[in-house]
Amino acid sequence: MSNSHPYARELGDFLRARRGQLRPHDVGLEPGGRRKVAGLRREELAMLAGLSTDYYQRMEQGREVRPSDDVLDALAGALGLDDEERRHLFTLAHAARRPMPARVQREPERVPDSTRRLLRVMNTPAVVLGRHLDLLDWNPMAEALLGDPADYPPDRLNMLLLMFDDTLTSRRSCAGWEQQALDYIGMMRAAVATDPTHPRATAIVGELSIRSAEFRRLWARHDVRESVSGTKTFQIPEVGDMVLDWDTYPLPGNPGPVMLVFTAEPGSADSERLQLLSSLHATRSVLANRIPRQDNVARNRRPTIVDNC
C-alpha cells in the first residue's frame, strides 16, 4: 500500500471517510446485531454500489484499481455524494488512472498586477489566498479588519496555520469558528485533489496533523469545498460588533488563487461600522508613520488575523 499511487491513496481515504459517515438506516438497511464499525461495512456499501466486496476493498486500500465512470457513478449514488463531493471523487479517480510523472512542474503562485490594482481600489476588505490558503496579498480595508499580515513571518501567513495557532487563544470562543475551519480545510482538500504530493500542502497538513488534535479530527472528515461563502461576526471594541458576509472568487489560473471578499449591506449599521473602522485604521497608519520608533497604543490595539470573533 505504501507504494500505491498518491491519488489512489487519497481516493481510498475519501471513500473510507464517506462510508464511515453513513449509517445503515441512511440507506434503508437494517442495523442487525452488534456492529464493530459505526458506519456502513465495506460489504454493505459494495452491495449498494453493485460491486464485489474485494474490488471495493482494494479501492479503499489505495491499491492499483482504475474504476470506470460507471463504477464511480454507482459509488457516488451509494454514498449520497453532493455535486462537489462527486466532482472530487471523479477528480481523484481520473488522476489515479494516469501514471505519475517523474517530475512535476509547479509554477510559483503570483498575483496578477491587475488584481493587485483591483484590491487597492476596492472599498471593502479583500485578500488573495493561494491554492493552499497562503495569504498572497490584501488591501488596507482587510488590514483594518483582520490585522497587519506583515507582523507574521511569510511562511506562517497561511489561513489554516493561523486558524490552528495555539497562541491565538480567543479563537475557539468565536461563534462559528469550527465551521470556518471546516471551510478552509475543505478548500485545502480540493487543492490536495489536484496535486496530493505538493510540498506546501504536505508541509502544512503534516505540521497541523502532528500538533493539533482538532485539526486531525476535522481533516479526517474528508470534507471538500471548491469555493465557499458565509457570514462572520467581528467583535471590535472601537466600533462594536459587525456581521459581514464573505465570499470567495476564483482568479485566473487552474488551479489558481482566489479572492476572499467581506461585504456589508450598503447603508446598514454594519457598513457604517466598517467605514468607521477603515477611517480609524487610516489615522493609526498616519500616526505610526510619523512616529515609527514608538510602540504606540493605536498599534497595539489592532486586531490579529483570524483572531477576531
Q: Above 60 in pLDDT, residue 297?
A: no
CA pair distance 94, 48, nearest whole angstrom:
22
CATH of residue 162's domain is 3.30.450.180
The answer to whether position 40 is within a domain reads yes
d(CA 30, CA 26): 10
pLDDT, one tens digit per residue, over 96-112 is: 888 766 566 778 888 98
Q: Is the pLDDT of residue 143 over 60?
A: yes
DSSP per-residue codes, the chain: -TTS-HHHHHHHHHHHHHHHT--GGGGT----S--SSSS--HHHHHHHHT--HHHHHHHHTT-S----HHHHHHHHHHHT--HHHHHHHHHHHHHHHSPPPSS---PPP---HHHHHHHHH-SS-EEEE-TT-BEEEE-HHHHHHH--GGGS-GGG-BHHHHHT-TT-TTGGGSTTHHHHHHHHHHHHHHHHHH-TT-HHHHHHHHHHHHH-HHHHHHHTT----SS-EEEEEEEETTTEEEEEEEEEEEPSSTT--EEEEEE--TTSHHHHHHHHHHHHHHHHHHHHHHSTTS--HHHHTS--TTT--
Q: What is the 3-class SS of 60-88, one letter each residue?
A: HCCCCCCCCHHHHHHHHHHHCCCHHHHHH
- For the CA atoms of 244, 231, 215, 250, the dihedral, rounded to the nearest 10 degrees, stands at -80
Same domain, 133 and 197: yes
Establish if 103 belongs to a structural domain: no
Residues 14 and 32: beta-carbon distance below 8 Å = no
Q: What is the pLDDT of residues 175-187, one digit of tens each?
A: 678 888 898 999 9
Domain count, the chain: 2
pLDDT at 30 over 80: no
Domain that holds residue 90: 6-97
Question: Is residue 106, in this structure, part of any structural domain at all?
Answer: no
Q: Residue 195's pLDDT is what?
A: 87
Cell of 151: 507582523
Q: Is residue 58 part of a domain?
A: yes
Query: CATH number, domain at 89?
Result: 1.10.260.40
Arithmetic mean of pLDDT over the chain: 84
Mean pLDDT on 144-166: 86
* 92 and 149 share one domain: no
Q: Please identify, among 38, 67, 97, the residue that sits at the C-terminal boundary of a domain.
A: 97
Query: 174 is written with which cell numbers?
Result: 468565536
Residue 233 pLDDT grade (very low, low, confident, very high; cuts 50, 70, 90): confident
Query: Which of 70, 97, 124 marks a domain boundary?
Result: 97
> Against a cut of 0.85, is the pTM above it?
no
Q: What is the pLDDT of residues 237-249, one digit of tens each?
A: 889 889 999 999 9
User: Is residue 226 in some structural domain?
Assistant: yes
